[in-house]
Amino acid sequence: MIGYVIRRLLYGVLILIGVNLFTFILFFAVNTPDDMARLAIGGQRVSQEAVEKWKAERGYDKPLFFNGQAEGAARLTDTVFYQRSVPLLAMDFGASDGGRDIGREIQTRMGPSLALAVPTFILGLFVSIVFSLTLVYFRATRLDFWGVVLCVLLLSISSLFYIIAGQWVFAKLLRLVPFSGFSGGLDAVKFLALPVLVAIVSRLGPEARFYRTLFLEEIGKDYVRTARSKGLAERVVLFRHVLRNAMLPILTSTVAALPLLFMGSLIAESFFGIPGLGSYTIDAINAQDFSIVRAMVFLGSALYIVGLILADISYTLADPRVRFE
């Protein structure tokens, strides 16, 4: 098991190197350092001297990959890629193009993102599993039929509709919660209640329909018939046997989503004015701040790789028959 984890980590490092390189190439294929400087300074009418000064202050006056004017190892190290992207492999995020410390910004904004993502993750998973098990318990009935219709209806609607409708009903008409904003302490509950509710409803349709399919596949197997023949109640069969044996695909979809706990929701944080990592990324994209975008893509990739490794480890806990060599 330890050898398997080490191999996955080594593969993860290679993937991160590839993601780092691909992000760098993709960004500079769309934007040149001159474009970045003009956008940061304030328009196309900026003098070339101001552009060159901005580039020199931030290290964008160097060649991208290979410096033919340097000697020795400096041909590779005295480049934009080495000085701006390679340090990411050591989790050194550096400074944004605006001069702010990206690592400190991540630490500051991680709290609001976790405050939104953790209850959404836990409550959403609980509601989806309970709802899908309820449909399976009442399978082949009207409740099951209309429950499936509700799932299809929910997954057919864009998440933007839930956000706009939620703000209009609960914030404007009923005035139960604020439209947007964030505050620390217990005051955060009134700002997070609506985003969490919207997120749970928007993910209920696809998740409950997927879990219902898994449970229906399990409920027709021999071990379920054996459990029923022993006189176990149907709810005991569902929660103790069917749920446990259907946990592997559920773990795949949930543990792999753990990066969202740290990265936040791009859409929800932007609409509800939550100063988390999601809105931080959106603002960086709008400002074409390559340093922040590069750091957030790299961080998201690293967390996703860790999530997949945790998913593999959780398989052995959910099913003792699973072994990794």
- Find residue 101's DSSP bridge partners: 95
Share of the chain above pLDDT 90, in %: 10
Rounded to a whole number of angstroms, the CA Rg of the chain reads 25
Query: Stretch 278-297: mean pLDDT, rounded?
Result: 81
Q: What is the pLDDT of residue 325?
A: 59
Q: What is the pLDDT of residue 151?
A: 92
Give the start-to-end residue ranges of the domains of the chain: 2-90, 108-318
Instruction: Give the pair of three-digit tokens for residue 283.
Output: 């603002």
Cβ neighbours around 172 below 10 Å, total: 9
Instruction: Give the pair of three-digit tokens for residue 27.
Output: 């960004």
Query: Stretch 282-290: mean pLDDT, rounded?
Result: 79
CA distances to 178, 182, 196, 265 from 169, in Å: 11, 19, 15, 22
Under 8 Å between Cβ of 73 and 275 = no
What is the dihedral sign for C-alpha 155, 161, 166, 169? negative
Which residues have a Cβ under 8 Å from the Cβ of 146 and sit 6 or more positions away? none
User: Each residue of 116-171: pLDDT tens digit?
Assistant: 888 888 898 899 999 999 999 898 899 999 999 999 999 898 888 888 888 898 88
Check whether 263 has a pLDDT greater than 70.
no
Unique residue bearing structure tokens 């988390």: 276
Under 8 Å between Cβ of 63 and 80 = yes
Unique residue bearing structure tokens 């500079």: 28
For residue 95, report the phi and psi dihedrals to the nearest 5 degrees: -115, 150
CA distance 277 to 205: 26
CA distances to 148, 248, 250 from 324, in Å: 37, 14, 19
Q: pTM, whole model, 2 decimals?
A: 0.78
Q: What is the pLDDT of residue 39?
A: 72
Instruction: Give the pair of three-digit tokens for residue 183.
Output: 């505050």
Check whether 10 has a pLDDT greater than 90.
no
Q: Which fold, 108-318? A: MetI-like fold (1.10.3720)
User: Each residue of 189-235: pLDDT tens digit?
Assistant: 888 889 999 989 988 998 899 999 989 888 888 888 888 888 888 88
User: Each residue of 101-118: pLDDT tens digit?
Assistant: 888 888 888 888 888 888
Which residues have a Cβ under 8 Å from the Cβ of 87 and sit 6 or more positions away? 93, 94
User: Each residue of 13-35: pLDDT tens digit?
Assistant: 888 888 888 888 887 777 777 77
Identify the band that residue 174 occupies on the pLDDT scale cut at 50, 70 and 90. Answer: confident
CA distance 173 to 196: 19
Helix (H, G, I), strand (E, B) or coil at 231: coil
